[in-house]
Each structure stands twice: as structure tokens, then as C-alpha cells.
Structure 1
Amino acid sequence: MTAHSRRRSRSLLRTAALSAAVLLAGCAGAEPAAVQHRGGDSERSDSERGEGGHAAAAAAATALPSAHVHGVAVDPADGRVHLATHDGLFRYEETGPVQVGPAIDLMGFTVAGPDHFYASGHPGPGVDLPDPVGLIESTDGGRTWQVLSRQGHSDFHALAASDAGVVGFDGALRSTPDGTTWHVLDAPVEPHDLAASPDGAVLIGTSETGPVRSTDAGRTWSAIEEAPLLQLVDFAGGTTVAGVSPDGTVALSTDAGATWSTRGRVPGAPQAVGADLQPDGTARVLVVTDAGVHDSRDGGVSFSPLPA
């Protein structure tokens, strides 16, 4: 990447970070009302992807159940796409997104295993939880949530789960092996997004000065030389990591974030990325932008919109 390109990328990321800060401030100011939350327990079935180019992807904007999407992931229990939003968790059915569980403003969200999620944020209408909720856990696919720790104290805007526990950023970078006991990590940046390898040894954080990486569970960090200026990152599994730059360019690493290759590009401003290894070892990459949810089954080279 040339010096001019890197300066331009940094400018784009600062703009994206500022926009995100405005959105997060708006989410934090929402007051819960005394109304019942909506549920979503319809029978699960396999999703079908739509086909088309950028025009079709732009048309898929109606598929977003909320203007503020904070996370996207595949549940290993059924292969379904889930969106964590300002208005709660949504699961994509054949007919589109269906709300699951209470209307919690899920600012941070990560999948730990089949039907096993961690999240953070603020209670929504009719939800009897502390504000902020701290670290919460669901073991039934998001239908119900239990408060684990740091209720009333932490609103984790970035979360990553692994076999070693959970890492989150709430103004400080913290890790917990059990969801209740926390340790502060000394990171060189304030990460906009976090990714953790399956064993928790490798951590990747994004920032406006470029991504950083730890290979010892966050004890020491270093800048990733020659890496794209990533805004969002997620481990697909093994040593495969997907990332997205502020301009929608998708990159992939097959060596746990040490080196990266540019893949495809999605339209719109990126909001969330999720990655998952398919049975043949190819990464499935999901990118949410203001133009919709974009789904790649070829490691981020080409994308199709999820059905509205």
C-alpha cells in the first residue's frame, strides 16, 4: 500500500469511527418503556440466498430489521445467520429476519458455540435488566439471557469469545476465563473491533492507526505490518480471519492475521462482519452495511444478498 493510499484509508476510518460514535451515543440514550417485548420462536429451517450484483444488494436494505446493526454471526447449531441490533437479536428465516428474545440493545455480540452467545449493551422496552447490562449469556439461541457480571458498569462495544473465555472492550480491554472474573489487558490501541482465535491465543484489534495482534492472549501486542487498514475483523475458525476496510474492501488471512490478501468488495458503509468455516474449509463471510446483509460462500470474493 502506498503512503497516499494509507493516508486516504486512515481518513476513511476516522470518518467511520466518528459516525459509529454518534450512533452509539444515540443508542445509549434510549429510555426503556413499560411495554411487552416481542418474541420470535418460529420453527427453524435452512436459509436460501438471493442472487444478484450491487443493485440487488442495495435493494436488500429492507432486509435489515434495524438501522443500527452491531454484530452478525452464524449459529453453529443450525447454520442460521443472526444479527445483533439496537432493537434486539434477529434470526434469518427463509422469509427474512425474525426477532428472537427480548429487545436488548446488543452493542457487543459474539457466538461461543451452538446456541451459546455472549452480549452486552442496554435493556430495551419492557426488559428488566440493569443498564448497562454488563456481560450477559444465552445458552438457548438468544431466547433468554442471564447476567454474568459487570452489570451497571460495562457496555462492551466489542466482544470476542474463544475456548479460553471472553475478551471485551468497554473503555478498557478486559478478559475473563469464566464470565465473572476479569483482568485488564494492556493494549496499544482502543480497539474498534476484536477477534479471537478458537483457542484464545491470538487476538486482533482494529484501530484508526491500523490493526494490532497478540499471540499470547493479550499480554503483548504488535502492529501487523503490511495489513490493510481494517475496521472490522472476525475469526472464521482455525487460522482463517476475515476483515473489512471502511470502504467495504474485504480481506482474508489464513495465518491467524499475520498476512492478508484482498478479496472482494461490498457496497455501503460497513457495520459488522462475521465469518465461519464451511465443511470444505472455505470461509463464509457475512458483511452488514447500510445497503443490506451481504453473504459470500467463496472466502469474500463474491457476495449475494440475504433474502428480505
Structure 2
Amino acid sequence: MSLHSMTRRRPLTALAAAAALALTLSACSPGSTTASQDADNVPSAAATGLPSSHIHGLSVNGETDQVLLATHEGLFDVTKSPATQIGDTNDLMGFTAAGDNGVFYASGHPGPGSDLPNPMGLIKSVDGGKTWEQLSRQGESDFHALAATKSGIVAYDGTLQTSPDGKTWSAASTEFVPAVLAGTPETDTVLATTREGLQRSTDGGKTWELNTTAPIIQFATFAGGTEVVGIEPDGSVHYSADAGSTWSRTGQIEGKVQAVTAVKQTEGKPWIWAATTEGLVLSSDAGATFRPADTN
């Protein structure tokens, strides 16, 4: 869909969001350096209180409240301060949690001293990121976007692909470029944030449909089977209770968001964590308000 055709569907604010998202996509396309590396206004790790200024992924264990950041310098546990590095110093460009706690998929580039190929292809950890197994496409794919679903993996390395086991792949018939892929191991619904708007799949990423009524969001994350949180490029927070079909605005995040995750609660709406240029922040009211996350 062209920006010209979008003017007949979306208000001016949505066009501004699309333009901002387009800049983000161009900065982090596969084969380029990271958006954080290209940006001149990204604060240092010391300024944010985070272990790296290049945050590529965020995961929170709903049972233990362990908070992990996937970064340009590797995986860090930031549950307490100071942060603790886990495993090797690899550039984890793509990162997603699987169904079991401590199981992660990742992609990117090997760090200093690593014997992994470049790019790393799809790798998997079953011990919380301490060690990684090479699954497929080593030396071929740098997956900047990854999502785990009930039926497998959805990933983007310049081509959107699906895999039932992380080893064999099939290309999806799509032309959009996702900034983020969001899924949950509980269902086969997958969301892709794009400059044209929110793409939605209900068959594990094989087929897609543009949700023309959704906000143009840059980050999306599932909290359980149907609850989703979405963040616009300007930090506006949205909540969906029906797996991304309909949305309501809840609040605003200050600072530029780099990664976001949400955790389902037994009562009430999900808690939201976001890594921003202001540091790590937390919302316990579905995004209405945010406060600095306590990592002491």
C-alpha cells in the first residue's frame, strides 16, 4: 500500500507514525548495522543505567520475575543491579522466548572470540541463554525479527519465513518488511508491525491480512494467548484483548522505546516492561502510567 492510498484511510497522525516507522525500518534492514549504531542521539549505556545502549530484545519470566535484555554485547540479567552477563558476547539482533521458561531463540552476529559462523542463523538455548545450539541457516541468515508460535517459528532475514522446528524453512508469500514480529506459543496468531500498518496472521505466519483499523505501531508483544500490547513510534501505548483485532489507547512511554515485553497477570491487565533511552520502565496498569523498574 502506498502512502498516497493511506491518506484516504488514515488520519495525519497515523501518517506521521508511518513515516517514523519507515525511518526505523530503513535503519535496521537485514545486512545493515543496527539502528542504534546508526543513530547519533542514542545515549550511552551509562546514561540509561542499562548494560548496553543497543537493546534488541526484552524478556521477563512470569514465574521468577527475572528480566533479561538481548543486546549488541550479549544477553544480560538486569533483575538486580549491577547487571550480570549470561553466556557469550554475541550480537543478538533477533531474540524471542519460547513456551518453556529459559528457552530462547536468537540470531545475529558472533562476538569477539566466538566460534559461531557469521551470521549466526537461528540458534536456540534451553538453559536461559548460557549455551546455544546451532539449528539452521548458519552463515546465511541474520534474523532481525523472530516470533515463536504454537506451530513453530516465524522469522525475517530479508524474506519472511516459517519453520515447524527451526531447521526446515518455507517462504511466506508477503512483500511487507516487519519491524517486529510478535507471537505466542499458545496460539498461531502472529502480528507484524510495518510501515503500512499492522499485519496479522492466524495460521502461524503462512498468510497475512492488513488490519486497517489498527494503529500504526512499531513494537508489539503478546501477554498470553489473546492480550497484546502495541507501541507507536512516538511512545503511545495501545492494548488489545482479542489478539490484535481491536485496540484501545492506554497511555504514553517517555523516551525512545528499543524493546518491550508484557506478562499476563492472574487478575487485571498485563504488566509492561520497556527498555527506553531513559532506562528500563515498568507499567502495572496496562500502560496508563510507567515508573522506573526497580533492579536493586
TM-score band w.r.t. shorter chain: 0.7 to 0.9
Matched residue, 1:54: none
Distance in 2 of aligned mates of 1:61 and 1:168:
32
1:252 alignment partner, SS class: strand
Structure 1 residues 110, 303: CA separation in 2 closer, same or farther (over 3 Å shift)? same
- Shift in CA distance, 218/19, structure 1 to aligned 2, threshold 3 Å: closer
Could you list the structure 1 runs, at least 4 aligned residues long, displaced by more than 6 angstroms after superposition: none
Are residue 132 (structure 1) and residue 140 (structure 2) matched?
no
- Partners of 1:117 and 1:157 in 2: how far apart? 15
In 1: Cα distance, 2:29 partner to 2:277 partner: 16
Deviations 1:44-83 (A, max 9, x none): xxxxxxxxxxxxxxx9943211111000111345221110
Amino acid paired to 2:113: G
Partner of 2:24: 16
**Distance in 2 between the 1:281 and 1:177 partners?**
33
Q: Which amino acid aligns with 2:275?
A: V
In 2, are the aligned partners of 1:109 and 1:118 still within 8 Å (CA)? Answer: yes
Q: Decide whether aligned partners of structure 1 residues 22 and 162 sit closer, same or farther in structure 2, where only a CA change above 3 A counts.
A: closer
Q: Kindly tell me: are residues 288 and 25 of structure 1, through their superposed partners in 2, closer, same or farther at Cα, counting changes over 3 Å?
A: same
- Structure 2 length normalisation: TM-score? 0.87
User: In 2, are the aligned partners of 1:109 and 1:119 still within 8 Å (CA)?
Assistant: yes
1:305 to 273, 287, 292: 292
Aligned-pair CA distance for 1:306: 2.1
Post-superposition offset of 1:192:
1.0
Cα deviations by residue, 1:74-95 (Å, 9 ceiling, x for unpaired): 1345221110000000112322
**Consecutive unaligned residues in structure 1, runs of 5 or more:** 30-58
Give the TM-score normalised by the residue count of structure 1. Answer: 0.84
Q: CA deviation at 1:290?
A: 1.5
1:128/1:77 CA distance change after superposition, 3 Å: farther
Task: Output the amino acid matched with 1:259.
Answer: T
Residue 152 of structure 1 corresponds to 139
Query: Identity percentage over the alignment?
Result: 44
Partner of 1:117: 104
Picking from 226, 235, 241, the partner of 2:213 is 226
Q: CA deviation at 1:27?
A: 8.5
The alignment covers a number of residue pairs equal to 279
Greater RCO (Cα-Cα under 8 Å, separation 6 or more) = 1
User: CA 1:132 to 1:27, structure 2 compared with 1: closer, same or farther past 3 Å?
Assistant: farther
2:157 to 170, 176, 182: 170
Deviations 1:212-246 (A, max 9, x none): 11122223221112211100111111200111110
Bigger shift: residues 73-82 or 180-189: 73-82
Any stretches of 5+ residues in structure 2 without a counterpart? 1-8, 38-44
Indicate conservation of the 8 Å contact 1:164/1:199, yes or no: no
- SS of match in other structure, 1:257: coil
3-state SS of paired residue (1:213): strand
